[in-house]
Each structure stands twice: as C-alpha cells, then as structure tokens.
Amino acid sequence: MKSTFAAACLLCCSTAFAQKTTSEPDLTTGPGATERTLKIDASVTTNHEVTIKGQRVPYKVTAGTLPVWDDEGKTIAGVFYTYFERTGVADQGPRPLVFSFNGGPGTASVWMQIGYTGPRVLKIDDEGYPVQPYGLKDNPHSILDVADIVYVDPVNTGFSRMANKDVQGSKFFGVNQDVKYLAEWISTFITRYKRWASPKYLVGESYGTTRVSGLALELQNAQWIYVNGVVLVSPTELGIERDGPADAALRLPYFAATAWYHKALTPELQQKDLTAVLPEVEEFTIREYLPALAQGGNLPETKRKEITAKVARYSGLSEKVVLQNNLDISTNFFWKELLRDRGYTVGRLDSRYLGIDKKDAGQSVDYNAELTSWLHSFTPAINIYVREELKYKTDLKYNMFGPVWPWDNNNNRTGDNLRQAMAQNPYLHVFVQSGYYDGACDYFNAKYNLWQMDPGGKLKDRMSFEGYRSGHMMYLRKDDLATSNEHLRQFILKSVPKEGQAAKY
C-alpha cells in the first residue's frame, strides 16, 4: 500500500459559447491564450446541458484558478478548478456541493472528472480500454443531477502552479501541508461562490482518500466547515499501521479475486461466482492465515503444510512458490508469477490488464500495464475538454502527474483524523468504494481501515462499503460506471439530514 505514493491515484453537451461575467478576465483571446504562466485568479464560464437518468439537466462550468495565500496574505500559488453547477435552481442552500480530489499525490482531478462523476466522460470501450479517435461523450450517470461538483487540482497538478520560483514546494508537498492549504482554499471557494449554506461532501480517490480524510478534521478545526460526507474511492492505508503479518495476510483476498478473473483457481472455486468465493477467503485470512504468519518459524510443520495448501488454492500459485516465500507473497511477485506460464504479467492498479515483459523470468514486472492504458486515453481527452469545450485558453502543460517530490509523509494520522471528525460531527457519514481487482489499494485493506478506525463499533452505522468487479478506477468499466454513480448518488441523498433534524447524539 505504501507504494501508492510512488505512482499514482451524459447525453450531448452543448458548448456553443463561452459566457463571461463582467468580473471574469477573458481567457479566450489576448496574452492569456499564449502564455505559459498561470493567471492566479481568473476564470471562464460556459453553458451546457446533459440528460441524466432520462432527465434534462442544464448546467454551467466555471474553469479557472483561485489563489492560495500564506499567513502574511501573500499569494503563493494558484489552484485550478472546474466547477459544475446545475442552473435553474431556485435555492442553492439545500443543494449538496461536492469537492473532488484525485491522488498520486502528484496527479490532477482528471480521472474522476472525465472518468466517473462529471457530465462528460472519455470515449473508451465497455471494459475501459482506449479507442481512437480520442474524445468525450455524455455521461448519463453523472451525479450532477443531485449535487454540484468542484474538481480541484492541487499545486503542480493540472494547471495549478506556485506563484513564482521563490515559493518553496515544502509549503505544499506533504500529508499535513497539503491538507492545511487545501482547507484554506476550500474556504475561499465557498465564500467566493456563496455556498456556505450547502451540505458539503469530500470525494477522494487513491491518495485523494488520504487527502480528504485529513481535510474532514482540518476543515472542522481550522475553517469551522462541517461536511456531511466523505467518500473514499480506492483508499490508501490512511496512516493506519499494518506492518508484518497483517500486511502480508490482508493481500490474499485480492490475490483470490485476480486469480478468479484469470481462471487460475481450482475448478471447485472457479465454478463459483466471485462474490461467493471472496467471503470464504476473507474468513480464512482472518481466522487462520494471519495467526499462522504471526507464528513465523514457530508454526508446526503440519500446520505450515495445511496453510500452504490453502494459500496456494486461494491465490492461484503453486504450493512450491508459497513455501519458497515463507507464506508471504509480495504483490510485486504475484503480478509477475500468476500468469508467468502464459507469458503475461497482470496490472498493479487493475489486474484485468495484461502486460508483456522482456523476460518471463524475474521477480517483478517491467511496467504497469493499466496505467499506460489509462494515460493513453485520458491525456488527449482532458486537453480536448478543458481547452476546446470549456474554452480555458493557455499554453501551460496540463500535468497528469506533476513534480511534488520530495513528499513529506511524516505524521500521517489521516484515518484517525477522519474518525475524530465523525465523532465530533454527528452529520458526517463515510462511504468506501473499492474494486476487487485493485492491487495497489486493495478492497480488503479498505475494509480493514474501517475496522481499525472504529475499534469500538460506535460509528459503523455511519460507515458503508461497496465492492465492484473492476480495479482502482472501477468506473471505467461500463457496468460499474452506472452502479458506482448510483451508489454515490444514494449516499448523498441519504446523508443530507431531513429538515429540522439536529446534529446530535
């Protein structure tokens, strides 16, 4: 899971014109259209419409930047955002507002913006693979019918940049630094766009889950902003320790899901549905595998053989390989080993994707097949979308992955911060979405997060989990795009308090 830090994370829309208010600088012509420096406080607005769940939804998009200030009021950065706002709404007060972040930690909000919740999604095949010509299509599953959405690019991702070369990256590039300045930025956004009355939600994917978990408490304690929901899409470990036996054991259900997908399990298991296999593997992982790993060399030989046979059965690997690794199979080795005899490797972030290495021999894969595929389709689409459809004109490069290193991972307590935020705020609900084939932020570790965040079980009625038959970006699979958006839509609707419902225990 710690390797997450190293890599990362509608029906026809009318864009006939760019409508600018008197307060918005013109980004479509003039110097701003040809410069490679960021305009710190500028935006452009376009009007569109989309059909979601059979209903026509008119909306406007504001693409622009808002400043980040230091403690002395000096501008130190500009953060790029795209704000999707349903038009024709008489009263914005009750309408939910979603802030959406991706991960890396050095990647932009592109993935969920044009892959998941936004009104436009990239053109890919039904399983999520690239097709040409590149482009976008309408997203009939977008949550824009029930909530307005702000996609935020942290500093050095997307078009966001530091104000000048004298600004130190250490002000932004770290677990707690990131949370602090983004909470301040969110407060600025809410004030600028008059959204203080709205129910507020944070959605994060991959490292973005670390970000939004920290933001939930930082917004409450430093900005006095209380959110109604936090959505963790393919969550990281959230600073929750799991070294040693726990770290090793928790991988097995993911191994089983991947082996099932590639038909590498025994016929007895293979004939069952995935959702029937996984509970059996989870039970073995907690009741037998974890205790066996904890015993290490003290494990009796007969028990070692028994555990080895079961790990091999559930992982799709040979008993010989399991024994050679002392029952502890690393994810890097698994991606290389599972389909070695077939001449393929499997993807890190999505094990449905296959790769071809120079040599079948070795302990790790040459490249991440899934990430290469995603960059193939997402990069052209976001540049087409922002520059042509949303009319944001700049010669700046859109950073899919930006320079944010070194990243300060010290004092990562974001999982516990989220627990504390929930304890303080009876309105706050948490929803986790995970793909069964995600090997970087696997689904069983996501469940483990929830168990460890709430060891007393007092918050579990406000925590929920959904799994999907895809990987890290589960929404790239056509069927999961529909179901994951619907689950998110229902989470938002159910967590908005009824009129007169007080925030109290």
Q: What per-residue confidence (pLDDT) applies to 36?
A: 82
Please list the rounded mean pLDDT of every run of 10 residues in the chain (505 residues). Answer: 39 30 41 69 98 98 97 96 97 97 97 98 94 95 98 98 96 98 98 98 98 98 98 98 96 98 98 98 98 97 98 98 98 98 97 97 95 93 97 95 97 98 98 98 98 96 98 97 98 96 95
| Whether 151 contacts 82, CB under 8 Å | yes
Single pTM value for the model: 0.93
CA dihedral 425, 430, 108, 173 (to 10 degrees): 50
Q: Could you tell me which of 424, 451, 446 has the C-alpha nearest to residue 435?
A: 446
User: For the chain, which residues make up each domain, given as ranges?
Assistant: 2-239+374-495, 245-367
What CATH number is given for 2-239+374-495 in this structure? 3.40.50.1820
Sign of dihedral through CA atoms 39, 42, 46, 49? positive
Q: What per-residue confidence (pLDDT) applies to 504?
A: 95
- Cα separation, 289 vs 246, in Å, equals 9
Per this entry, what is the length of the chain?
505
- Helix (H/G/I), strand (E/B), else coil: 90: coil
Q: What per-residue confidence (pLDDT) applies to 37?
A: 85
Residues 6+ apart with CB under 8 A from 248: 293, 327, 328, 329
